[in-house]
Amino acid sequence: MFDNRASAHRERHARSLVWSGAFLALLLALSAPLALADLSARSVTETETATEQPASPPGLTLANVYREGIDLSRYWVSEKLDGVRAYWDGRRLITRGGHPIAAPDWFTAGFPTLALDGELWMGRGTFETLSGTVRRLEPDHDAWRAVRYRVFDLPGMEAPFGERLQTLERLLADTQNPHIAPVEQFRVADHADLMARLETIVAADGEGLMLHHEDAPYRAGRSDDLIKVKLYLDAEAQVIAHLPGKGKYAGMMGALLVEEPSGQRFRLGTGFSDAERRSPPPIGRTVTFKYHGRTRNGVPRFASFLRVRD
């Protein structure tokens, strides 16, 4: 009798193992596609996220401020366009900070496959409209039809600027795309001639002039290879805090507390529109301001907001 009970117990245990094995196999069969689908979904998500990351900021040539006494006979001169600096890497436009610019495909159709350095521009006195157009994640095609890419250098060419300029002009001479063109370059005789040109540009709502040394290689950083000429000085600072407004600016931003790369902090309270006061530049962003000299403590005198740097 004991043997019969033991035999029955072994039989039930064997059937239990068979059912458990079958259930486990079924569970694995059902879960495997889900696991693969989940892995695939995560891979797609990771890929999409990676493609949305900004590129590394391009190493751009930056300008020093003009001072009298520079040998102007060695420089090419052009208008300083009040636009958005844009670097063409051969397939897309990116900002000075490395962020992709959502330009329409037709806008960049036929652009060269080599790197270009230039300025997106709509014309004098149109910076706010241009900036709004360039910042959009989805391009406004009607607005982009008024934009031009004015190119002033070939970053990838190892030659003096004078040679790069000739190559650039030949490169773009036969383009069928009306939205891209080289920046016009000219010469001046001396300081007086330069100042006369500057006054003419500023009187027509222009921003200033740029000087580019004819023998300069293309190299990143700030030097006398590139010099800006303005009736006022300008600089950049990072937004540290929003200071509340009073009186007619109650409920809005009254001033920005900003910090320059040197560590100099000051209040920047003029030059803003009411719209900019209602929606001020975010903390952490870099802004450009103009000023007229500095105090003995290094604080910019008569500082006035110009724009948020892209």
Spell out the domain ranges in the chain.
1-53, 61-229, 233-308
| Of the candidates 245, 253, 259, 244, the residue with the CA atom closest to the CA atom of residue 289 | 259
- pLDDT level of residue 53 (50, 70, 90 thresholds): low
Task: Report the pLDDT value the prediction gives residue 254, as an integer from 0 to 100.
Answer: 96
Q: pLDDT per residue over 173-182, tens digit each?
A: 989 999 999 9
Q: Which long-range contacts (CB under 8 A, 24 or more apart) does 253-259 make?
A: 253/277, 253/278, 253/280, 256/280, 256/281, 256/287, 256/305, 258/287, 258/289
**The pTM is what?**
0.71
Q: pLDDT per residue over 103-112, tens digit each?
A: 999 999 999 9
Q: pLDDT per residue over 4-39, tens digit each?
A: 444 444 455 444 444 444 443 433 344 433 332 332
- Asked whether residue 40 carries a pLDDT value surpassing 60, the answer given is no
Sheet strands (E) in the chain = 61-65, 75-80, 84-88, 93-95, 116-121, 148-153, 180-182, 208-213, 221-229, 233-244, 253-259, 265-268, 286-291, 304-308
**228 or 174, higher pLDDT:** 228
- Exactly one of 80, 230, 246, 248 is catalytic; which is it? 80
Mean pLDDT of the chain: 85
Q: Which CATH architecture has domain 233-308?
A: Beta Barrel (2.40)
Q: Looking at domain 61-229, which of 3.90.1150.10, 3.30.420.60, 3.30.470.30, 3.20.20.100 is its CATH number?
A: 3.30.470.30
- Are 61-229 and 233-308 the same fold in CATH? no
d(CA 265, CA 300): 10
Q: pLDDT per residue over 250-259, tens digit each?
A: 999 999 999 9
Span 155-164, mean pLDDT? 97
Q: Tokens 């290094």 — which residue?
A: 298
Other residues' Cβ atoms within 10 Å of the Cβ of residue 162: 16
- Asked whether residue 291 carries a pLDDT value surpassing 80, the answer given is yes
DSSP-derived pairing of the beta strands 75-80 and 93-95: unpaired
Active-site annotation holds for 248: no
d(CA 206, CA 208): 6
- pLDDT level of residue 55 (50, 70, 90 thresholds): low
